[in-house]
Amino acid sequence: MNSISWKLSDLKSIEKNGLKVMSTFACGGGSSMGYKLAGYDVIAANDIDPEMAWHYKKNLNPKHYFLCPIKDLMKNDLPQEIFGIDILDGSPPCSTFSMSGKRENNWNKNKRFREGQTKQVLSELFFDFIDFADHIKPKVIVAENVKGIILGNSKGYVREIKKRFGKIGYNVHIFLLDAKYCGVPQSRERVFFCCLRNDFEFKKLKLKLSGNILTVGKACNDIQNLTNDEIKATKPEPKALGLYPMVGKGCSFQNAHKIKYGKSNYFGYQRLSNKKPSPTLLTKGKMFHHWNIPRLLTFREFKRIGSFPDDYYAKSINIGKYMVGMSVPPRMIEKIATAIKEQWLTTLNCRNC
C-alpha cells in the first residue's frame, strides 16, 4: 500500500492480527482507520452526533454502532464480545482543554458539543469514558486528547485521570506525540494515555517514531489538477484574497492583516508551505490556503494532509473538512496501535492466571 495515497478498499488486503477494538467518540473514523491499517478488527463504535454516525457507517460499515452519550452505553445490552476486548479507544471532546479556547472558563459547565444534541459537561466526559472502561474491562485503553490537557491548571485533571485509571485497575503511560513523525504531513501534537490492565505483567511501552518528515508538497503533488466544482469551492474570502500576496509560505495571515488594517486579526488563517508539514488542521476549512495559488485547500488535499483515504466520502466539502480537522490522523494511530500489538498484546503474561 502506498504510504501517502491509499483507499478504503486497500484495508481488505491488510493481514488481520486477530485483535479487536471498540472506538468511542469515534467521529468520522480517523482512529478506527488507523487500527485497521495496523491489522485490527474494529468491531464497535460510538458517538453522540448523528452526522458523524452516518459518515462512520457509510465509510467503515461497523458490526456494532451505538448512537448515544457514552454514559448510556452502560445502560445498553452490549454484545458479549465487547467485554474484555483487546483495546478500548476514545477521544473525549477536548475543546475545554485546548490552548486556543476559553479553557478554565468552560470547565464544569454544561454545554452542547454540537447543535441539537444532549448537553454535556465536556470536562467530565473523560471520566465517563473511564467509567465505561471499568464496565467492559478491556485489556488496553487508548485515550487521546489535546496538548493543553498537560499544561497549566489542566495538570490537575491529568492527575485525577491517572488516579481514576489506577482505581479501576490500569497502569498508565502518557505520551505527547506529533503526527509529523508518524508519516502524516501535518504538525499535530496530541496526548495519548496508553493503559494496560494490571492483571498483566507491565512492560514499559516504547514508541519509536520516524524522523522522516512528509511535506505537504510531496503529499499533494499528484492532485493539483482541480475539477470545476473544486475551483468554485476553493475561492477564498475577499479579504483573505487581498492579504494573500503579503503572506509568506508557511506563515499566518495575522501580521499581514495588522500591516494593512492596523490591527491583528485572521489568527489561524494560514498559507501553507509545500516544503513543510501543514500546521494543525482545524475544522474550519476556510482558514487554510494553498502554497502557490490564492485559493483554499480542496477536500482531496485535506484528506491527504490528514492521512485519510482518498475515497473517504463526505456529504459536503465543509462536513468532510470538519471531520478531518476533528479526527486523529489514521497513520498516527497506526504507529501507536502497531507498538501496542508488538510490545503488549502479543506478549501478555497474565499475573493471576
User: What angle (nearest 5°) sits at the alpha carbon of residue 68, between those of residues 67 and 69?
Assistant: 145
Q: Do the beta carbons of residue 152 and residue 102 sit within 8 Å?
A: no
CA distance 211 to 197: 31
pTM over 0.85: yes
- Residue 57 has a pLDDT of 98
CA distances 75 to 68, 132, 167, Å, are: 11, 10, 22
pLDDT tens per residue, the chain (353 residues)? 888 999 999 999 999 999 999 999 999 999 999 999 999 999 999 999 999 999 999 999 999 999 999 999 998 899 999 999 999 999 998 655 544 445 445 444 444 544 445 555 556 899 999 999 999 999 999 999 999 888 887 788 899 999 999 999 999 999 999 999 999 999 999 999 999 999 998 889 998 887 789 999 999 999 999 999 999 999 999 999 999 999 999 999 999 999 999 999 999 999 999 999 999 999 999 999 999 999 999 999 999 999 999 999 999 999 999 999 999 999 999 999 999 999 999 988 877 65
Q: Which residue from 146, 145, 144, 300 is spatially nearest to 216, judged by alpha carbons?
A: 300
Q: Do the beta carbons of residue 308 and residue 30 sit within 8 Å?
A: yes
CA distance 211 to 233: 35
- Residue 129 has a pLDDT of 96
Kindly state the helix (H) or strand (E) to which residue 110 belongs, with its residue range.
Answer: strand 110-112
Q: Is the dihedral of CA 237, 96, 322, 53 positive or negative?
A: negative
- Residue 308 has a pLDDT of 98
Query: What would the pLDDT profile of 202-233 be if each residue is shown by its tens digit?
Result: 889 998 887 789 999 999 999 999 999 999 99
The one-character DSSP state at 344 is: I
- Residue 157 has a pLDDT of 85
User: Quick check: helix, strand or coil at residue 132?
Assistant: helix
Cβ contacts of residue 101 below 8 Å, gap of 6+? 95
CA distance 91 to 26: 7
Cβ contacts of residue 287 below 8 Å, gap of 6+? 268, 269, 270
| In 168-314, alpha helices (H) | 216-220, 228-233, 238-243, 254-261, 299-305
Q: Do the beta carbons of residue 302 and residue 324 sit within 8 Å?
A: yes
The one-character DSSP state at 183 is: T
Q: Where are the beta strands (DSSP E) in 27-114?
A: 41-47, 64-67, 87-90, 110-112
What is the number of other CB atoms lying within 10 angstroms of the CB of residue 40?
Answer: 27
- Residue 154 has a pLDDT of 75
Structural domains for the chain? 8-213+328-345 (3.40.50.150), 216-325 (3.90.120)
CA distance 45 to 69: 12
- Residue 2 has a pLDDT of 86
Joined grid coordinates for residue 114: 454540537
Tell me the backbone φ, ψ of residue 252, rounded to 5 degrees. -85, 155
- Mutual angle of helices 155-167 and 125-136, in 10-degree steps: 10
CA distance 329 to 182: 9
Query: What would the pLDDT profile of 319-353 be if each residue is shown by its tens digit?
Result: 999 999 999 999 999 999 999 999 999 988 877 65
- Residue 347 has a pLDDT of 87
Beta bridge mates, 175: 192
Q: Do the beta carbons of residue 89 and residue 31 sit within 8 Å?
A: yes
Q: Is the dihedral of CA 333, 5, 179, 131 positive or negative?
A: negative
How far is residue 286 CA from its own chain's centroid?
Answer: 20
